[in-house]
Amino acid sequence: MFGSITPEPPHATGGRAGGPLIVTDDERLLDDLLRLCAAAGSEPEVVFGAPPRASSWDTAPLVLVGAEATDRVRGSVARRKGVLLVGRDLDDSEVWRRALDIGADHVLLLPDAETWLVDRIADIAEGVGQPALTIGVVGGRGGAGASTLACALAVTSARAGRRTMLVDADPLGGGLDILVGAERTGGLRWPDLADSRGRVNSGALEESLPRLESLSVLSWDRGDSVLIPAQAMRSVLGAARRRGGVVVVDLPRRVDDGVAETLAQIDVGLVVVPAELRAVAAATRVAAAVSMVLKDLRVVARGPFAAGLDDRETARLVGLPLAGELPLESRAVGALSGSGPPGSTGRGPLARFCTAFLAQALAGGGSVPV
């Protein structure tokens, strides 16, 4: 069980930080907190039976104060963010008053709050900051060009110097590592991560994947198709998001439990719709399924346009906002033609769309001007 005293988040860090500061007089509580720190991969500083030093109190990324030790804290150190009051007595009516006395952000009661606390300590250990902008791309029909757009968005983001991860969530798509030219680059693929459970370390994930400069790629190997459980999808994508920057996910056109977990972590989705009536009809069904989980879903209308259709009419018929128009580009399959991954030159309609869309999305804007 845990409760919040103030709405502000705990003391944030921008890079890798030291461990939390533990202030307690309770040996049993200290043992529990040391165990939780170890589970989170963090080494704390401990102050047992004495007031904390001002330097430790002020600089620790997170402070864990035992409910029995508030008298040692009150009046001896300055108030600050990132202080958690930790107890274990559910019937202690005084715990909230003690938390207010020392300006604690949250009250945590063990063992109920152990999972939450481990995640918070692990965030500090990993230096977690702003989560990644996560973009999902799905084809309105087969061959719509969704994988090409997903790769181009990731390549464009990486070319701008952002930490970027490209995630291939479609096991039947043939492998995005081929499209970006990373099929021979060493690193883990999805089958290696299928048994992932709980919290995956974001730094270790990034370091283990095939990399092309600033771009990490999580794709499939050339073996038999492997089912990725929903829990593994949740753990791996959650780790990718915690690393910050931009995450681009190439989505399948079906929605099963694993895809639903993926959609729940996506900030904005793009459905690529060729401007022809059959593609519009197919995209409408895809959009209906995806939008049951992902609320911010937009149309990318891909030319050439059939008679009576343009980008706005295509979006209207699908029933979604328009993200922009993407004219057909003859060299969009650059990785397969030997001219580099999609978007790698920074020129042409595809690269221009990706640059404009990323600028708008990272700024929290709406549709992309065309």
Provide the pairing of β-strand 297-302 with 322-326: parallel
Pair (74, 39) in one structural domain: yes
pLDDT one-digit tens code per residue, 309-344: 899 999 999 999 999 998 766 444 444 445 678 888
Residue 234 one-letter amino acid: R
Do residues 163 and 274 share a domain? yes
Q: Looking at the structure, tell me whether residues 58 and 200 fall in a common domain.
A: no
Residues 293 and 186 in one domain: yes
| 198 has a pLDDT exceeding 80 | no
Please answer whether residues 140 and 274 qualify as being in contact, where contact means their C-beta atoms are separated by less than 8 angstroms: yes
Amino acid 201: pLDDT = 80
Q: Quick check: 2 pLDDT over 50?
A: no
Instruction: Provide the pLDDT for residue 249.
Output: 97
113 with 240, same domain?
no
Best CA proximity match to 246, nearest among 122, 332, 178, 160: 160
352 within a domain of the structure (yes/no): yes
Share of the chain above pLDDT 70, in %: 90
More confident residue, 108 or 7: 108
Say if 116 falls within a structural domain: yes
CATH number at residue 328: 3.40.50.300
- Shared domain check, 342 and 225: yes
DSSP track, 259-289? HHHHHHT-SEEEEEEESSHHHHHHHHHHHHH
Domain membership flag for residue 367: no
* Number of domains composing the chain: 2
Mean pLDDT across 97-105: 93
Position 337 scores a pLDDT of 46
The token pair that represents 190 in the structure block: 């999805």
Residue 39's pLDDT is what? 85
pTM: 0.73
Q: Examine the pLDDT at 347 and tell me if it is beyond 80.
A: yes
Please compute the mean of the pLDDT values over residues 203-232 and round it to a whole number.
87
Q: How far, in Å, CA of 367 to CA of 333, rounded?
A: 25
| Domain hosting residue 63, numbered range | 7-126
The verdict on residue 92 lying in a domain is yes
Instruction: Return d(Cα 79, Cα 102) in angstroms, integer.
Output: 7
What pLDDT is recorded for position 128?
64
CB atoms within 10 A of CB 308: 8
pLDDT at residue 272 tops 80: yes
Does 104 map to a domain?
A: yes
Average pLDDT of the chain, as a whole number: 86
Residues 30 and 167 in one domain: no
Same domain? 100 vs 148: no
The answer to whether residue 62 is domain-embedded is yes
Q: pLDDT tens, 75-96? A: 889 999 999 999 988 778 889 9
pLDDT of residue 17: 56
Residue 364 pLDDT grade (very low, low, confident, very high; cuts 50, 70, 90): confident
User: Is 85 a domain residue?
Assistant: yes
Show which of 96, 126, 156 is a domain's final residue: 126
Given pLDDT bands bounded at 50, 70 and 90, which one contains residue 43?
very high
Q: For the segment 237-256, what is each residue's pLDDT rounded down to a tens digit?
A: 988 998 889 999 999 999 99
Residues 149 and 21 in one domain: no
Task: State the pLDDT confidence band at 356, using cuts at 50, 70 and 90.
Answer: very high
- Write down which residue in 63, 98, 126 finishes a domain: 126
Say if 368 falls within a structural domain: no
Domain end call among 105, 126, 147: 126
Whether residue 262 sits in one domain with residue 187: yes
Instruction: Check whether residue 114 and residue 70 sit in a common domain.
Output: yes
Closest CA to 238 of 216, 277, 205, 214: 205
The verdict on 70 and 165 lying in the same domain is no
Banded model confidence at residue 165, pLDDT cuts 50, 70, 90: very high
